[in-house]
Structure formats: C-alpha cells, structure tokens
Amino acid sequence: MAQTPDGSGNGERPARRRGALPLRVVHWSFDALYAGLVSAMPLYAAGRAAGDPKARSRWAAYARDISARFGRRQARTSNGPCVWVHGVSVGEVKAAARLVTEIERSVPGVEVVISVTTDTGFRVARKRYPGHRVEFYPPDLSWIVLDSLDAIRPDLMILVESEFWPNFLFAARDRGIPVALVNGKMSKRSAKRFGALPAVTRRLLDCIEILCVQLPLHEERFRALGVPAERIHVTGNMKFDNIPIKQDQVRDDEFVRLLGADDGLPIVVAGSTHPNEERTLARISRRLTESGMKHRLVVAPRHPARADTVEADMRREGGDVVRRSRMGAEGRPSDGQIVLLDTVGELERVYARADVVFVGGSLVRHGGQNMMEPASLGKPVVVGRYVHNFRGEVEMLKHVDGIVVERDAEGVEATLRSWLADPASASEIGHRARDVIERSKGATSRTLEKLRPLLERVARPTAR
C-alpha cells in the first residue's frame, strides 16, 4: 500500500532522483505561480462572462461548486484497497466505465473513487457510477492536494487521457502512489508546450509509471518528451468500446421510400445541425443542384423542437422543404425537396441510407457533434473545423484519412461536390473510418492487461 503521513502502508517510497528538488520547494514554486495566475483570474473571468453567455454559465457553475472543489475532503472510512480514477469531463467518465467494472472484478474488495473537473462531468459521473464516491479533482494547490491524498488514501491513481498537474503528481510520487495514464493522448500543441520546458516535463512524466496511449503518434510525442519506450503502450481508444459496429443494414423499406433512396439520387445527410448551419447547407445544396449534381439533402437538427425555424431558414435559401412528420405512411419527397427530419430517434436509420454525411455543430463554435456513429457505419464524413469536443476521435480518423475536416462552408461544399462526382473515393474514406474503429475495439482489455502488475500490487495483502 502507498506510504501515508501517519505511517500506514508498506513504507515503500521511491528513491528521489539525484538533483531533484525537495517536495516542499516544488510545492512552494508552483503555489507561487498559481497565486499569480489566480490574481489575474477575476478580470479575465469578468471580461469573458460579459460578452459570452456560455462562459458566464460555466463560471457560475464553477462558483456553485467552490466549496466542493476547495474545501476539506471527507476521509475514506474503509481501510481496504483503493483505486482513484480521474477523467476531466463527460467523455472521459464514459470511456472509463468498462475499465472501472473490470478493476472491481480483478481486485477483491477494492473501492474505486471517481473524480472529474467539470460540473457536467460530475453530474454524469454521479449517474453513471451509483454507489461510488464521486469527487471534484482537487485544484493543484499543495495544501488541497495533500488534504485530498490524506482523505482518499489511494493505492493507485489512474488518469484518463491527460491532466498532468505538477503538485498532484509530485505529491503522489513522494508518497509512493503509482500513477498510470490510460486512453492517453498528447496533442501537437501540448507537445510543443511541454517541450518548451524539457527538464520540468521529464521529471513530471517520470511520476507516471505506465502510459497506455491511443495512437502510435501519441507514443512518438511522449517519447520525444523523454518518456522511455518501455513505459509506453499503444492500446487504442477505450471510447470506441462503447460504439457498436453496425453490420450492413438490411433493406429499410420505410426509409428507402421516405428519403426517395430508390430513385437513384445520392443521399446527403446533415446530422445534428445547429442554428445557421441549416441555412448554409440549403445554400450548398441549391448550388450543387444548379451545377447539375442532383442529390437528396436530408437535414436532422440537433434539437427537433427547432423545426419551424429550420424550415423557415432553408426556405429563405430557396429550399423546397418537406418534414418527415408530415409525409405520412406512404409519403415520399418530390424531386428537389429537402427532407427535414423533425422526429426523434430516427437519425441512425437515416445515416444507414446515406451516401455522404456532414456532422453539425462544427461550422459554428459549438465544438462538434458525434461523428463516430456515421463513421462506424462506413459512411464518408465531412465536418467543419470546430470539433474540439471530439479532438481524439477526429485525430484518430484523420490519421487514416477516414474523415475530412474543412475550415469553412466553402470547403464543405467542395468536399461534397468531390464526393458526389467520385462516389468510389468517398466510399473508401468511409471504409477506412469503419476499419480503424473496428481495430480500436478491445482497447479496454488491452489497457487492463498493461495495468495488471499495478492492480496485483493493489490487491496484495499488506498491513493497512
């Protein structure tokens, strides 16, 4: 068990590297840095909140949770083994679900504590992990970090994807608490930032015993930052274990008729669209038709309750719109009509009939919607540049040329024009996307296998 200040545990403590600073000096240094940043935070927050309603709601949510984030942690009552799993937000919380289940099966009597950074992640974690202790990850101030470690007394710390906070990692190392990274990634931008301080970065990453990363390119970036190759393992993306791979769809006669898919027109599906995107797509569709590229556009707003507004917007661009809800059992669109999917729960059936797909929330600053569903169906997908909610997924698909990311509406139009002119090339993109998702499945099992030596140490009976 990890060393704790009261002397419990096995008393093992990793040897300090030659030339390493004492822990208290590390804490003082980073606390001073954070103090400088915090002093500037109110002005920054006020400026952002004044002009951005989303920023205002985020800061308000953060303020509501101040006591839970900065207050004293309640001490864990059990003296049994404990694994602390941390994910920043919703995606990481969901990705870790199967891993948590397998850890609980592997280590008898283990208590798994879940922590998150965001308020939305906290709400999702409470629902996804009933009966588990769910905490906000401690802000990286030394006294809060030490209080959290005293209260939870973890035998193993598992970080999901990232979160390399120095006070926490150095304190965990000082106490002999092994740290593992799972579903790890390192973006090009982050690698550049870490590379600017190589000595600090090497010592920070030295605190992590095992790194299970999503892609070979992430392995390369960690190695370039000084992590030895033997500590890094490419295990894939655990998020894809939650994505069902759909086999070739049986003929769906209702949707073949409703979309007019039996009249030979290619089906262009715009899924999970947001305000302003529908009007843009109607304009693109009109220009494609005017240039002789006949097709059927199907628009599925992210929120079907917006159907009246969406229909009006597309009509302003000259679109002839028919709603799915008004087509009737035997209805079908006439030539040139745009189908507005204003119903709930039918998007997957529509994706299955698509020839090419645009996924919304990506031409506006929303951050993108889930492009993995159409990709898992083998459909060629194009998105706009605002996909920061799905960075890992997009990076993996881009790595195999399994998705196209365009900067603006003109780029999306050019891609759709290219795909309609060359459906075979478009189909290859979809096949590559589906293949990489299939290959990535099983990442949880591969990760668990790499963690097994650490889990065996957790399960080993010790004086607790």
- The kind and range of the H/E element at 148 are helix 142-152
For 39-53, how does the pLDDT look when each residue is reduced to its tens digit (9 = 90+)?
Answer: 666 666 666 666 666
Give the highest mean pLDDT range of 49-58, 322-331, 361-370, 387-396: 361-370
User: Given this model, what pLDDT does residue 340 score?
Assistant: 96
Q: Give yes or no for residue 91 having a pLDDT over 60.
A: yes
- The kind and range of the H/E element at 27 are helix 23-51
Q: Give yes or no for residue 224 having a pLDDT over 60.
A: yes
pTM comes to 0.73
Q: Which CATH class is domain 23-43+67-242+442-459?
A: alpha beta
61 pLDDT band, cuts 50/70/90, is low
Q: CA nearest 376: which of 429, 440, 434?
A: 434
For 164-207, how does the pLDDT look when each residue is reduced to its tens digit (9 = 90+)?
Answer: 999 999 999 999 999 999 999 998 889 999 999 899 899 999 99
Q: Give yes or no for residue 10 having a pLDDT over 60.
A: no
| C-alpha 358, offset from chain centre | 19
Q: How many residues does the chain have?
A: 464
User: Given this model, what pLDDT does residue 363 score?
Assistant: 98
SS3 394: helix
Distances (CA, A) of 227 to 37, 155, 224, 453: 29, 23, 7, 19
User: Given this model, what pLDDT does residue 89 score?
Assistant: 86
Q: Do 109 and 142 form a contact (C-beta atoms < 8 A)?
A: no
Q: What's the mean per-residue pLDDT of the chain?
A: 87
For 270-298, how does the pLDDT look when each residue is reduced to its tens digit (9 = 90+)?
Answer: 999 999 999 999 999 999 999 999 999 99
For range 246-258, the mean pLDDT: 64
151 vs 43, which has greater pLDDT? 151
Burial 342-359 (b: 16+ CB within 10 A, else e): beeebbeebbbbbbbbbb
18 pLDDT band, cuts 50/70/90, is very low
- In the block, tokens 């850890």 appear at 103
345 vs 321, which has greater pLDDT? 321
| Vertex 57 angle, CA 48 and 114, to 5° | 115
User: Given this model, what pLDDT does residue 365 score?
Assistant: 92
- The kind and range of the H/E element at 312 are helix 307-316
CA–CA dist 209, 181 (Å, integer): 8
Q: Lowest-confidence range among 208-217, 235-244, 327-336? A: 327-336
Domains 23-43+67-242+442-459 and 253-440 share a fold: yes
Q: Taking the CB of residue 193, how many other CB atoms lie within 10 A of it? A: 10
Q: Do 368 and 383 form a contact (C-beta atoms < 8 A)?
A: yes
The third-level CATH classification (topology) of the domain covering 253-440 is Rossmann fold (3.40.50)
Q: Give yes or no for residue 34 having a pLDDT over 90.
A: no
Distances (CA, A) of 35 to 22, 29, 148: 20, 10, 20
For range 332-342, the mean pLDDT: 89
- The kind and range of the H/E element at 203 are helix 198-205
For range 450-454, the mean pLDDT: 96
Q: Do 186 and 215 form a contact (C-beta atoms < 8 A)?
A: no
User: Given this model, what pLDDT does residue 50 score?
Assistant: 64
Q: Do 3 and 171 form a contact (C-beta atoms < 8 A)?
A: no
Q: DSSP E strands: which ranges in 43-132?
A: 82-87, 111-116
Q: What are the sequence ranges of the domains in the chain?
A: 23-43+67-242+442-459, 253-440
Q: Do 241 and 98 form a contact (C-beta atoms < 8 A)?
A: yes
Fill in the amino acid letter for 230: E
CA–CA dist 281, 361 (Å, integer): 13
Q: Give yes or no for residue 6 having a pLDDT over 70.
A: no
CA–CA dist 369, 359 (Å, integer): 6
CA–CA dist 180, 177 (Å, integer): 10
Give the highest mean pLDDT range of 55-59, 367-371, 423-427: 423-427
User: Given this model, what pLDDT does residue 326 score?
Assistant: 86
SS3 5: coil
Burial 170-192 (b: 16+ CB within 10 A, else e): bbbbbbbbbbbbbbbbbeeeebe
